[in-house]
């Protein structure tokens, strides 16, 4: 029973899949496409392009020091406040 299942179903299925992959690789090589296409590799994060230098200010919400050139600003009572992100700016509550 099990032997008949392997002989009539599993073996033909494996043979079909093997032949299909061989034929697919042959056609790709005739078209000039490489048969192996490596993935993109590890993701590399690039730092945002921000002008170097400048004065650092402390974000009043999270305490991160941020450059005045790269900060998100909000004027509160005539004073400019510097934030590291729009989320921190929106969380800031005026007393």
Question: How far apart (Å, rounded) are the C-alpha atoms in residues 53 and 36?
Answer: 46
Name, in order, each residue with C-beta under 8 angstroms of 41's C-beta and a sequence gap of 6 or more.
none
pLDDT of amino acid 34: 58
Question: How far apart (Å, rounded) are the C-alpha atoms in residues 28 and 34?
Answer: 7
pLDDT of amino acid 16: 94
pLDDT tens digit string along 11-66? 999 999 999 999 888 887 777 655 566 666 676 666 666 566 678 999 999 999 99
């Amino acid at each position: 029973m099990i032997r008949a299942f392997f002989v009539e179903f599993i073996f033909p299925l494996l043979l079909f899949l093997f032949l299909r992959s061989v034929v697919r690789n042959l056609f790709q090589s005739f078209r000039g496409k490489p048969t192996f296409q490596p993935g993109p590799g590890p993701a590399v994060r690039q730092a945002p392009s921000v002008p170097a230098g400048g004065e650092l200010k402390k974000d009043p919400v999270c305490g991160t020091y941020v450059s005045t050139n790269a900060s998100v600003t909000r004027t509160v009572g005539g004073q400019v406040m510097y934030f590291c992100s729009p989320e921190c700016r929106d969380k800031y509550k005026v007393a």
